[in-house]
A and B are shown apart, each in its own frame.
Chain A
Amino acid sequence: MTVFEDGSRCPGCGRPRIVRHAELFDLSIAHMDCDAFYASVEKRDTPELADKPVIIGGGRRGVVSTACYVARIRGVRSAMPMFKALQLCPDAVVVKPRMEVYVQVSRAIRAMMEELTPAIEPLSLDEAFIDLTGTARLHGAPPAVMLARLTRRMQDELGVTGSIGLSHNKFLAKIASDLDKPRGFAVIGKGETEAFLRPKPVRLIWGVGAAGQEALERAGIRTFDDLRRWERRDLAHRFGSMGDRLWHLARGEDHRRVTRNAPVKSISNETTFHEDTGDADILDGHLWRLAEKVADRAKAKGKAGRIVTLKLRRADFRIVTRRATLPDATQIADRIYRSARALFDQLGAPGPFRLIGVGISELVPAEQADRAGDLLDPGAEARARAERATDAIRARFGENAILKGRALR
């Protein structure tokens, strides 16, 4: 490791990329985010693609899953419908995702991180939190140096690049990794946290989507500065359980630990149709199959959800979501299906739709679920018992040993 005070190039390797920060060697919580991960892997494996705009995604009807930086210059973004991406960038090479390969590369990156610390929290194949607190003596170098070496190793051995955000908690580390992309290394120190956050929009908070932003905006909160002006009690009053977290985040505080097994917050499944459909029977069949998948996963995890969410994407790509809070948490497919179906019936927005999804959230342990019967639906208990019996039959004789007629539509 080389520490030097001035000069615009590294005296060791002669490269111009230099990170300076007063707290550089004191910070130890990082977020590593690969740069255009799927696209980088494709370019690595097919060198002819190197300077071409590459989009990873499935077919004309799908959406962009990753766009390389060449395609991004043309305005292509993740989650953009493919036809729109191709309008912006007609010469793009569209590559079908090869998940097995990405998983392999991801595992290799994970192994490199494991060499640094066991405190890794993967968020997806291509990003993870890394806590290097207390590892300086072991490695003989501070976290910042080990992280720089990690990205260099990723580039040299795996041919993919990543950006590092280094800070004093997860929230800021995640924001930092996005500041200097690609091949970035950004630092947010304790000393500058407040000044850094104040003018920033609250949408930087991970988990604040369009709806959350709207709720905050209705309260007159656009920036962290706005958020700081709120009393802790008022925030809790207005935003419930999220309020307290917002109060801390406004001050750049985040006490969540980097843990390998972050608790599951929701379980959901969705299907994109080959052809847009508004046919109630077809949609109903999908609803049932999705409810069953969600229930299967919930049962496997020993979880149950209090909130059932229905998600639909209309032909014009607008997303419609509806949620229902159940009085009693459930992991029974029949209950999930009936709630989703009631939400669908009340939608009042006719199709056609191109995607349908069902999910459960506000998860509780299975022992706390499905304990209360329904006065108005005495058949519910019997159907739940039938479902448990079906589960037992499938466990013994295979997935297709027994099916509901509705699953065949």
Chain B
Amino acid sequence: MKISMERATLLRAVAQAQSVVERRNTIPILANVLIEAEGDTVSFRATDLDIEVLDRANAQVEKAGGTTVSAVTLHEIVRKLPDGALVVLASDEAAGRLTVSAGRSNFSLATLPKEDFPVMASSEYGTNFKARADVLRRLFDKSKFAISTEETRYYLNGVYMHVSDSEDGRVLRCVATDGHRLARIDAALPAGAEEMPGVIVPRKTVGELRKLLDDDEMEIAVSVSETKVRFATPDITLTSKVIDGTFPDYTRVIPQGNSRKLEVDASDFAKAVDRVATVSSERSRAVKMQLDEDRLVLSVNAPDSGNAEEELAVAYGDERLEIGFNAKYLLEIASQVDRENAVFLFNSSGDPTLMREGSDTSAVYVVMPMRV
């Protein structure tokens, strides 16, 4: 194999590959990226056995062929090459080496045979649809903060993507929860997604997917089977196993009858929470919200380090309420609000609280209060 390509194109392709590669792994070839050249394209493939990313780019292919080489090392080299450099990759199968040259820099890297590279078993994708990048970005960006990191609840270690009924008809819905907060985000159901099986997209896949979604108008091809999910742009294909587990019935978690309504400027609210939480050094800092007519007092009382209080003008017309929350959870849900006021709906100080943006029910958050 011998190819030459522009540094920036190569860097983008290799960067995607090396982020999938697991840093600590016991199977040497999993640290490598599979490079294959044919016609006028070169493809880069990397996997951790759960996720596979395939990135195609145009290149001048002098000699077709393929090899595998350490993804991290190749990425580091390409990253350090000067901008605009023309990079030549040439493999010497007999010697088991790949030479990387650009200008006066020459590198010779150890390779492993491409035949040993594990290729993810193909799957029958029963559901195929297209969705705009900005739509997917909203679905996953707004839900991923609630993904659980508890390994004993592995079925919560991802975003549950499924089709559901809502007030506005059938929707494509993403839900994530860790048992303390929950995010439920809806988008219009794309044509072709009607029969999609519900799948739990793992946290790492959500992170990798995000890199495909920067261009708002890009159409992303989504394919779903019972065991795998695939997201593809014209250049990049991300394939991932889904979490083999049952996502709990989240619908009974979302409070229906909460009637005490608070409306507050989300950004002012988040800043105030952040300020008062400063005095506490505990890992889970509790913030107390005291609600009176059109008045909200946020306070933190940390016996060892101090206390803080801040008052906010809000819209609240119900009876007096005192309720505590983990400051981090409040900040995270408040920062999801990007257009309108945050609307909180409370029941009592012991019951889950609901938060949404204005009257928009396509993004709903639930947070469990905390004893203060």
The answer to whether A325 and B368 touch across the interface, beta carbons within 8 angstroms, is no
Q: Which of A327, A364, A376 has the most CB of B within 10 A?
A: A376
- Among the stretches A53-61, A348-356, A367-375, A396-404, the one at the interface with B is A367-375
Render A295-327 as a binary contact track against B, CB cut-off 8 A, 1 for contact: 000000000001000000000000000001111
Q: In the complex the two chains form, what is the Cα distance from A342 to B149 in whole Å?
A: 14
The answer to whether B350 and A372 touch across the interface, beta carbons within 8 angstroms, is no
> What DSSP secondary structure best describes chain B's contact surface?
loop
Query: Of all chain A residues, which has the CB nearest B285?
Result: A368
- A373 vs chain B, min Cβ distance (A): 5
- A35 vs chain B, min Cβ distance (A): 41
Please report which residues of chain A, range 332-364, place their CB below 8 angstroms from some CB of chain B when the two chains form the complex: 339, 342-343, 346, 364
The answer to whether B150 and A327 touch across the interface, beta carbons within 8 angstroms, is yes
The answer to whether B149 and A373 touch across the interface, beta carbons within 8 angstroms, is no
Q: Pick the residue among B24, B182, B282 that contacts A364 (CB under 8 A).
A: B282
Interface residue B300 (Cβ < 8 Å from any Cβ of A): no
The answer to whether A327 and B179 touch across the interface, beta carbons within 8 angstroms, is yes
The answer to whether A324 and B150 touch across the interface, beta carbons within 8 angstroms, is yes
The verdict on A343 contacting B152 (CB below 8 Å), with A368-B284, A372-B326, A375-B368 known, is yes
- B355 vs chain A, min Cβ distance (A): 14
The answer to whether B24 and A368 touch across the interface, beta carbons within 8 angstroms, is no
Query: Of all chain B residues, which has the CB nearest A328?
Result: B284
B residues near A327, Cβ cutoff 8 Å: 148, 150, 178-180, 284
Q: Pick the residue among A326, A346, A370, A373 that contacts B368 (CB under 8 A).
A: A373
Interface residue A15 (Cβ < 8 Å from any Cβ of B): no
Interface residue B334 (Cβ < 8 Å from any Cβ of A): no
A residues near B253, Cβ cutoff 8 Å: 375-376
Q: Can you name 5 A-B pairs with beta carbons within 8 Å? A: A325-B149, A374-B180, A375-B253, A375-B366, A376-B248
Interface residue B323 (Cβ < 8 Å from any Cβ of A): no
B residues near A371, Cβ cutoff 8 Å: 284, 286, 324, 370-372
Q: Pick the residue among A218, A325, A343, A372 that contacts B284 (CB under 8 A).
A: A372
Interface residue B369 (Cβ < 8 Å from any Cβ of A): yes
Please report which residues of chain A, range 371-405, place their CB below 8 angstroms from some CB of chain B when the two chains form the complex: 371-377, 381
The answer to whether A368 and B152 touch across the interface, beta carbons within 8 angstroms, is no
**Could you tell me how many residues of chain A have their Cβ less than 8 Å away from some Cβ of chain B?**
23
Q: In the complex the two chains form, what is the Cα distance from A264 to B7 in whole Å?
A: 55
5 closest cross-chain pairs (CB), A and B: A342-B152, A371-B371, A374-B179, A371-B370, A372-B370
B interface, CB within 8 angstroms of A: 24, 148-154, 156, 177-182, 248, 253, 282-284, 286, 324, 326, 350, 352, 366, 368-372
Render A151-163 as a binary contact track against B, CB cut-off 8 A, 1 for contact: 0000000000000
The verdict on A376 contacting B152 (CB below 8 Å), with A368-B284, A371-B284, A371-B372 known, is no
- A155 vs chain B, min Cβ distance (A): 46
Query: Of all chain A residues, which has the CB nearest B178?
Result: A327
Query: Of all chain A residues, which has the CB nearest B372?
Result: A371
Q: In the complex the two chains form, what is the Cα distance from A143 to B24 in whole Å?
A: 49
> What DSSP secondary structure best describes chain A's contact surface?
mixed
Please report which residues of chain A, range 215-230, place their CB below 8 angstroms from some CB of chain B when the two chains form the complex: 218
A residues near B372, Cβ cutoff 8 Å: 371
Q: In the complex the two chains form, what is the Cα distance from A374 to B150 in whole Å?
A: 13
Q: In the complex the two chains form, what is the Cα distance from A371 to B150 in whole Å?
A: 18
Q: In the complex the two chains form, what is the Cα distance from A28 to B208 in whole Å?
A: 56
The answer to whether B150 and A326 touch across the interface, beta carbons within 8 angstroms, is yes
A residues near B148, Cβ cutoff 8 Å: 327
The answer to whether B152 and A375 touch across the interface, beta carbons within 8 angstroms, is no
- A80 vs chain B, min Cβ distance (A): 30
Q: In the complex the two chains form, what is the Cα distance from A377 to B153 in whole Å?
A: 12
B residues near A328, Cβ cutoff 8 Å: 180, 284
Q: In the complex the two chains form, what is the Cα distance from A339 to B178 in whole Å?
A: 14
- A297 vs chain B, min Cβ distance (A): 22
B residues near A370, Cβ cutoff 8 Å: 371
The answer to whether A375 and B182 touch across the interface, beta carbons within 8 angstroms, is yes
Q: In the complex the two chains form, what is the Cα distance from A218 to B154 in whole Å?
A: 27
- B358 vs chain A, min Cβ distance (A): 24
Q: In the complex the two chains form, what is the Cα distance from A342 to B248 in whole Å?
A: 16
B residues near A373, Cβ cutoff 8 Å: 350, 352, 368-369
Render A109-123 as a binary contact track against B, CB cut-off 8 A, 1 for contact: 000000000000000
A residues near B324, Cβ cutoff 8 Å: 371
Query: Of all chain A residues, which has the CB nearest B248?
Result: A376
The answer to whether B152 and A372 touch across the interface, beta carbons within 8 angstroms, is no
Q: Which of A326, A342, A364, A375 has the most CB of B within 10 A?
A: A375
Q: In the complex the two chains form, what is the Cα distance from A328 to B178 in whole Å?
A: 11
The answer to whether B151 and A324 touch across the interface, beta carbons within 8 angstroms, is yes
Q: Which of A325, A326, A368 has the most CB of B within 10 A?
A: A368
Q: Which of A324, A343, A373 has the most CB of B within 10 A?
A: A373
The answer to whether B283 and A306 touch across the interface, beta carbons within 8 angstroms, is yes
Q: In the complex the two chains form, what is the Cα distance from A290 to B161 in whole Å?
A: 39
The answer to whether B150 and A376 touch across the interface, beta carbons within 8 angstroms, is no
B residues near A375, Cβ cutoff 8 Å: 177, 179-182, 253, 352, 366, 368
Query: Of all chain B residues, which has the CB nearest A306?
Result: B283
The answer to whether A364 and B179 touch across the interface, beta carbons within 8 angstroms, is no
The answer to whether A218 and B283 touch across the interface, beta carbons within 8 angstroms, is no
- B44 vs chain A, min Cβ distance (A): 27
Query: Of all chain B residues, which has the CB nearest A377?
Result: B179
A residues near B282, Cβ cutoff 8 Å: 364, 368
- A267 vs chain B, min Cβ distance (A): 18
The answer to whether B153 and A342 touch across the interface, beta carbons within 8 angstroms, is yes
Q: In the complex the two chains form, what is the Cα distance from A342 to B366 in whole Å?
A: 25
The answer to whether B370 and A376 touch across the interface, beta carbons within 8 angstroms, is no
B residues near A306, Cβ cutoff 8 Å: 283
- B227 vs chain A, min Cβ distance (A): 20
Q: In the complex the two chains form, what is the Cα distance from A328 to B181 in whole Å?
A: 13
Query: Of all chain A residues, which has the CB nearest B351?
Result: A373
Please report which residues of chain A, range 88-103, place their CB below 8 angstroms from some CB of chain B when the two chains form the complex: none
- B266 vs chain A, min Cβ distance (A): 22
Q: In the complex the two chains form, what is the Cα distance from A324 to B179 in whole Å?
A: 15
Q: In the complex the two chains form, what is the Cα distance from A370 to B148 in whole Å?
A: 18
- B272 vs chain A, min Cβ distance (A): 21
Q: Which of B149, B152, B284, B326 has the most CB of A within 10 A?
A: B152
The answer to whether A325 and B371 touch across the interface, beta carbons within 8 angstroms, is no
A residues near B152, Cβ cutoff 8 Å: 324, 339, 342-343, 346
